[in-house]
Amino acid sequence: MGVLNSLIEPFDTSRQIELKTNLSVVNELIDELMFNFATLIADVEEGRVNELVLKMEIEKKINKQKGVFDPEEMKRIIFDTIYGYGILQPLVMDNDISDIDVPHYDYILIKRKGNQERIDLKFENEKSFTRFCKLLITRNGGVINEVDNHCRVSDHHHFLRINVCISPRNNTGTSLNIRKHTIIAYKWEELQSLGFLDSMSSSLLKKMNEEKKNLLICGKGAAGKTTLLRTLIDSGDELERMLICETDSEIYPQKRNAISQKIKKSEIGGKSLELKDLIREGLTMSLDTYCIGEIIGEESWDFIQAGYTDHRIIGTIHGSNVVGALDRMVMLIENCTRIPYEKLAEMIANTLDYVIYLKDFQVMNISRISGFDMDKRKYEIQPIYTFGDCE
């Protein structure tokens, strides 16, 4: 379950204070370890290599240092710094917190039960914050430097999606965003108790899922799209054979008949794999359903084509409303085909059964998509639920 499992308690700042005179030595060693042993750090986190191998390398580095300090304590500080979450540790472990945003080293925001608030915490300075962010990326198998100055990785052990941007992309200094996912998807009743659904929207969505309808979930970031998608997947027909395609792991299906795959980024080495590749190769796997965690590019075309080959399709997309989500699908497909707008809109409307719009962790609208009127250049949409209908 990863190295961090042993670090259940909040980060022990007292040890930092005790070693304050040697803080520069600690930071220097961490920088050196990141430069020389990035792959080893990631392998230890994933359990591919015993942590003792890295501890031996740390011990060698410490033994070369001069100064008055406890080598064992220094070793523990370095190891905990590499694999812990520092001052963010209690926030990571708090189940009520879904998002942690650090736009500046001295400004930290969280989202707790859907409400954003500022936390009275800050990193020591910009340099220490940047070092911390690079560690998060390195240990989770990512690459970040002046050339590749943005990276998104997943912490599979704690169900986190981590985004880091550094200079020169960021003019305002390093920034960090951590999205937390529940270990197990919410059940329909739990989503109702959270105010995510009411009885009417819950009943409609359960029926659509049972009938294996083609669904597109839309909304802005952090609206709850992945939350709903996970519930749809895990509450579906046990015998429905599903392929889940993601850029980074976020869905973590409990459904036993689901195969979860993610892309392979070019910087990792070897042949890269994109979402469109996962979908195309899935055609040989005797699947019932294709699921895309987030539709963002050329895979939109393969997604719609899968629907045209009588597969079920479900996925999420960023969109400000139902029509906006459909138009964004057209725009994404237009970028990789020469098919006219009207024909694409017709294909999309004929493939999708329903579009679900979310806002601020609530289902706001569910609409049936009946087709596309070529003469009026307009989607045929029938809203079947709007938030507040059952009040």
CATH code, residues 3-180:
3.30.450.380
Same fold, 3-180 and 188-386: no
The C-alpha atoms of residue 318 and residue 372 are separated, in whole angstroms, by 21
| b/e burial code for range 153-186 (CB count within 10 A of at least 16 → b) | bbbbebbbbbbbbbeeeeeeebbbbbbbbeeebb
Beta strands in the chain (DSSP E): 97-104, 107-112, 115-119, 150-155, 160-165, 175-180, 215-219, 242-246, 258-262, 289-292, 312-318, 354-358, 363-373, 378-386
pLDDT of res. 238: 93
What pLDDT is stored for residue 190 in this prediction?
Answer: 96
Residue 179, both tokens: 């999205």
Q: Among positive and negative, which fits the CA dihedral 51, 53, 58, 63? A: positive
- Short-list 161, 185, 181, 165, CA closest to 173: 165
Please give the pLDDT value at position 15.
Answer: 44
The CATH code for residues 188-386 is 3.40.50.300
Residue pLDDT, tens place only, 242-265: 999 998 888 999 999 999 998 876
How far CA 329 is from CA of 168, 218, 367, in Å, comes to 32, 11, 16
Whether this prediction's pTM lies above 0.95 is answered by no
Residue ranges covered by each domain of the chain: 3-180, 188-386
Query: What does 57-106 look like in DSSP terms, one character per residue?
Result: HHHHHHHT--SSS-HHHHHHHHHHHHHS-GGGHHHHH-TTEEEEEEEETT
Closest CA to 293 of 381, 141, 126, 179: 179
Buried b / exposed e over 325-337, threshold 16 CB at 10 Å, is bbbbbbebbeeee
For the chain of 391 residues, list the mean pLDDT of each consecutive stretch of 10.
43 44 70 82 82 84 73 77 84 92 97 89 91 90 90 89 95 96 92 94 98 97 93 96 90 93 69 83 89 92 91 96 96 91 96 97 97 95 86 50
Question: What pLDDT shows up at residue 268?
Answer: 55
The SS3 call for residue 167 is coil
